[in-house]
A and B are shown apart, each in its own frame.
Chain A
Amino acid sequence: MTSLFSEISPEPAADVPVRRITVTVNGQRRSADVEPRLLLAHLLRQAFRLTGTHTGCDTTNCGACTVLYDGQPVKSCTMLAVQADGHEVTTVEGLAGASELHPVQEGFRDEHGLQCGFCTPGMMLAAKALLDRNPDPTEDEVRWALSGNLCRCTGYQNIVKSVLWAADKMRGPDTGGGGDRHDEEQP
């Protein structure tokens, strides 16, 4: 713990049991010495400086800290860092490719799916997990899949549109998608 939060005393106190863990984060293998009580969200934010994973509540409700754990969305404030040892974690920083954004990211920008941006990383990862499983969701399926993530700014309607936009884009032009199907429905 101490080693993660303070640059002044990089060595943890002697009586604190520490474990070495190795996690594949956004495709990169990274190691850290952690106290068992360190939460996964704090490992990502403090040790790996991936601050796109936000912490919003203490009770596993808001979903701002959602990351993908072996491809499944999890609330990283409700897992221990040690539980990620040997596993793959994808954070918002790992969504985009080297040169281009993930369609979900494009969708959120195109359909004004965010305002303050605080819930956005968790929302986008929950959306990605949905689309990986169900490439052509209905509006209700999107609302249902995102119901573990809270947003205070947008009223969700544009978030839903963003995800449907991304679904269209990901299915490609041959399937009758192409990104603007849902634009036509709204003035």
Chain B
Amino acid sequence: MYPSRFQYEAPTTVEAAIDLLHRGGGEAKVLAGGQSLIPMMKLRFASPELLVDINHIPGLDYHRVDPDGSIHIGALCRHVDLEQSTTLADAQPVLAAVAPLVADPIVRTRGTLVGSLCHADPQGDWASAMVALDGQVVAQGPQGRRSIPVADFVAGPFQNVLAHDEVAVEAVVPAPAGTPAGGYLKLERRIGDFATAGVAVALDLVNGSVSRAGVGLTGVGSSTIAATDAAQALVGAALSPDAINRAADLAAEAAQPRSDHRGSASYKRQVVRTFVVRILTNVLESDERAA
């Protein structure tokens, strides 16, 4: 398989990249990891006129935890960096749980978290985690920077809200209001398969009580789903089997799956429900063990 012809530019500053995108007038695409874009170009599902390769822009490959506890992930931070990061493992269990489950180990050496968010695949893993964590995407355009909550950033299947001359330069996870807990589970038929269903649950715990909660669902709707009712059902009390079951039911209700060759809609709801229970039960049990 061979891509169509395109122009290629490799700017060395974000500003230059923005300028190129601006001139591209909507027919340009940003190339970061390329692990979704290049296959689509090979299959000729995508035929951009211009590729703006941002890999030559220095200083975008970072991930760090700021003193206030917020996490910042640059546009060129690869999945593998997050998978192997001890910083992340300590700071944010949900992101740490997602990292090794993205695609396959070779794809993870090139692909990026920010790129995955931009690709806005309803079966993308990172978006669910970011939605659960109230994460944001920082976009930079000719008028400067703006922060967009991931829940708003993903506009639909393979659609984001970036203007054609904006570059997503960073993803941000706000500081936790307490001890972060949670996890990510996905059902995939084999490594590298898209999710049949995936669930991200992110909690902040203060003295054993849930001070904040977020639930993001993968692959069970036309885009990433924020199961806000399920999350709300958890806030303000300690985790209990009853609360867990209620949240699981609400998450399953929030899912909008379609029946396809990965399973029926009701099956996918069942998986969502099961995974919410499993993640929260695990949190509950570790909490009890710690106590």
Of B5, B100, B110, the residue contacting A74 (CB under 8 A) is: B110
Are the C-beta atoms of A60 and B105 separated by less than 8 Å? no
Which of A39, A69, A83 gathers the greatest number of chain B CB atoms within 10 Å? A83
- Determine how close the nearest CB of chain B comes to the CB of A76; give it in whole angstroms: 10
Min Cβ gap B37→A in Å is: 9
A79 to B51, CA, bound (A): 13
Q: How far, in angstroms, from A168 to B39 measured CA to CA in the complex?
A: 37
Q: How far is the CB of B213 from chain A (nearest CB, A)?
A: 31
Cβ-based interface call for A35 (8 A): yes
A160 → chain B closest CB, angstroms: 14
Given the contacts A37-B2, A58-B1, A78-B38, A148 and B8 also touching, CB distance less than 8 Å: no
Beyond A19-B8, A37-B4, whether A79 also contacts B106 by CB under 8 A is no
- CB of B35 within 8 A of chain A? yes
Contacts of B4 in A (CB 8 A): 37
Q: Which residues of B contact A79 (CB under 8 A)?
A: 34, 38, 110
For the complex formed, measure the closest distance between the CB of A141 and the CB atoms of chain B, giving whole angstroms.
11
In whole angstroms, how far apart are the Cα atoms of A19 and B8 in the complex? Answer: 9
A19, A83, A148: which contacts B104 (Cβ < 8 A)?
Answer: A148
A interface footprint on B1-42 (CB within 8 Å = 1, 0 otherwise) = 111111110100000000000000000000100110011011
> How far does the Cβ of B20 sit from chain A's closest Cβ, in whole Å?
14
Point out the residues of chain B lying under 8 angstroms from A73, CB to CB. 105-106, 109
Interface residue count on the A side (C-beta < 8 Å):
31
* A-side contacts of B55, CB under 8 Å: 83
Given the interface pairs A79-B34, A80-B38, A147-B191, the reply to whether A74 lies near B2 with Cβ below 8 Å is no
Confirm or deny: A36 has a beta carbon within 8 angstroms of a beta carbon on chain B: yes
Chain A CB count within 10 A is highest, among B10, B43, B55, B110, for: B110
Q: Give B104's nearest chain A residue, CB to CB.
A: A148
A144 touches B105 (CB 8 A): yes
B149-189: contact bitstring with A at CB < 8 Å (1 yes, 0 no)? 00000000000000000000000000000000000000000
Taking the complex as formed, is B80 at the interface, i.e. its CB lies under 8 A from any CB of chain A? yes
Of A37, A59, A72, which is within 8 A of B109 by CB? A72
Contact A148 B7 (CB under 8 A): no
B53 at interface, CB cutoff 8 A: yes
A36-B51, A80-B8 known; A58-B106 Cβ under 8 A: no
User: Are the CB atoms of A82 and B10 closer together than 8 Å?
Assistant: yes
Q: How far is the CB of B133 from chain A (nearest CB, A)?
A: 25
Is there a chain A Cβ closer than 8 Å to B89's Cβ? no
- Say yes or no: B10 contacts A78, CB within 8 Å: no
B residues less than 8 Å from A80 (CB atoms) = 8, 31, 34, 38, 51, 53
Report yes or no: A37 in contact with B3, Cβ–Cβ below 8 A.
Answer: yes
Interface assignment of B192: CB less than 8 Å from any CB of chain A: yes
- Is B107 an interface residue when CB atoms closer than 8 A count as contact? yes
B110 partner, pick from A37, A78, A145, beta carbons under 8 A: A78
Contact status of A59 and B43, CB under 8 A, knowing A72-B109, A83-B55, A148-B191: yes
* B6 CB contact (under 8 Å) in A37, A72, A126: A37
CB of A147 within 8 A of CB of B8, answer no
- C-alpha gap A69/B109 in the complex (Å): 10
- The answer for the CA separation of A63 and B80 in the assembled complex, in Å, is 17
Q: Are A61 and B7 in contact (CB under 8 A)?
A: no
Interface contacts beyond A74-B110, A75-B106, A147-B192: sample of 7 additional A-B pairs, CB < 8 Å, sorted by A: A36-B7, A59-B39, A73-B105, A73-B106, A77-B42, A78-B107, A148-B105
9 smallest A-B Cβ distances: which pairs?
A: A148-B104, A36-B8, A148-B106, A58-B1, A147-B191, A72-B109, A37-B3, A148-B105, A78-B38
A-B contact pairs, 25 of them (CB 8 A): A36-B6, A36-B51, A37-B2, A37-B5, A37-B6, A39-B2, A39-B38, A58-B1, A58-B39, A58-B43, A59-B42, A61-B192, A74-B106, A74-B110, A78-B107, A80-B53, A82-B53, A83-B55, A126-B105, A126-B106, A144-B100, A146-B105, A148-B106, A148-B107, A149-B106
